[in-house]
Amino acid sequence: MIPFVDLKQQYTANQAAYEQAMREVCMDASYILGPQVARFEQHFAEFLGVAHAIGVASGSDALRMSCQVLGLGPGDEVLIPVNTFIATASAVHEASATPVPVDIDAVTFHMDLNAAEQRVTENTKAIIPVHLYGQAVDMSAVKAFAVRHRLLIIEDACQAHGAKWENARAGAFGAAGCFSFYPVKNLGGFGDGGMIVTNQEAHAHRLRLMRNYGSVEKYVHEVSGTNSRLDSIQAAVLDVKLNSLDAWNQKRFQAACRYSELLAEVDEVTPPAFDAHRAARHVFHLYVIQCERRKELVAWLTEQGTQTGIHYPVPIHLHPAYRHLGSGPGSYPVAESQAKRILSLPMFPEITEEQIETVVRAIKGFYARRTA
């Protein structure tokens, strides 16, 4: 049995440190916005090389509150890639702005900036590049695009903790960078959590108010806010895990290299495109192949004991929730055709060479059987 991810191994490998960290929170009963949150925010900001990090309740909240703090609202259009997790779109929508999906590049799976040109209107105010699957977006190109069209950049780095574009980390380029600590992410807590990073003091200050009912001090509300805080217990655990993040990402990268080496022999499979000489550019939150006869392959792999996933089976515009955006089937040809071919293979830092070989052997077996 080869699981898609294996969180238990990560826990048992460093169990004493996690439990000690959680015990400390319980001992001083600092459950909400305690010193553990401030410490982790500080460490996360240092890790990313940014001035401020603000812990919030989830990656979705990080995206929504970033839109709000940057003043996006009714009538404002925000460019997003059409193949992403639904939260990228819903966060914009929840901030009362309009998500404008853009087709993706067939090779990188990132937003296609040529296609984005066609979607810019006088109402376009921001662009959300998504560092999808853990691969850093070409931020030089996004920055040039944003300058040309006078757009704000909000990075969705929810799958790319630690990834680098040139010399800076994903999340450190935009007006705001957003992270999720959902358990299976590259840096995952023991529950929900999120973070916004920014270099702008005024935004950081306002976000700290917004996440805590807008209060400056108890019962003094300067701005309208909400309840979206990172739990101290999550911060304490994440602070321990942050020390291992680069090493874990390195292991994911090595696993990806091994998969790609073995899969090069399979004609029916296209491994992900990435630069094998720049380890940090892709932190492989997911290892996504393109394949023929996916449905049958998935059934075969399941039967053989290998779990797989699809990220994502339905592009944003084809969900009932976003039908009002007015684009039906055929509107985003690249994303729509890729959605039928993509398949995510088991990927986690602890995956063994043997497990990778077993997965690839099963894939080879499937195509050999069918062509024989």
Interface contacts to ligand PLP, rule CB under 6 A: 58-60, 84-85, 87-88, 130, 156, 158-159, 180, 182, 192, 194
Q: Which is nearer to ligand PLP, 129 or 271 (CB)?
A: 129
Shortest distance (Å) from residue 276 CB to ligand PLP: 24
DSSP 136: P
For helices 232-242 and 35-48, give the axis angle rounded to 10 degrees: 40
Annotate 146-175 with DSSP letters as a single string: HHHHT-EEEEE-TT-TT-EETTEETTSSSS
Scored b (16 or more CB within 10 A) or e, 66-86 reads bbbbbebeeebbbbbbbbbbe
Q: Which is nearer to ligand PLP, 184 or 257 (CB)?
A: 184
Q: Which is nearer to ligand PLP, 185 or 206 (CB)?
A: 185
Closest by CA to 127, choosing from 94, 165, 99, is: 99
Distance, in Å, from the CA atom of 248 to the CA atom of 21, rounded to the nearest integer, reads 20
Distance, in Å, from the CA atom of 334 to the CA atom of 98, rounded to the nearest integer, reads 22
Shortest distance (Å) from residue 131 CB to ligand PLP: 8
Q: Which is nearer to ligand PLP, 180 or 198 (CB)?
A: 180
Q: Which is nearer to ligand PLP, 126 or 269 (CB)?
A: 126
Q: What's the distance, CA 307 to chain centroid?
A: 21
Distance, in Å, from the CA atom of 283 to the CA atom of 176, rounded to the nearest integer, reads 20
Q: Which is nearer to ligand PLP, 137 or 363 (CB)?
A: 137
Shortest distance (Å) from residue 57 CB to ligand PLP: 8
Shortest distance (Å) from residue 148 CB to ligand PLP: 25
Shortest distance (Å) from residue 184 CB to ligand PLP: 9
Shortest distance (Å) from residue 155 CB to ligand PLP: 10
Shortest distance (Å) from residue 209 CB to ligand PLP: 21
With H, G, I as helix, E, B as strand and everything else as coil, classify residue 222.
Answer: coil
For the chain, how are helix, strand and coil distributed in percent, rounded to 5? 45, 20, 40
Q: Which is nearer to ligand PLP, 25 or 130 (CB)?
A: 130
Owner of token pair 């942050």:
242
Q: To 10 degrees, the CA torsion angle through 189, 22, 232, 9?
A: 0
C-beta nearest to ligand PLP: residue: 59
Shortest distance (Å) from residue 293 CB to ligand PLP: 27
Q: What's the distance, CA 117 to chain centroid?
A: 24
Q: Which is nearer to ligand PLP, 65 or 130 (CB)?
A: 130
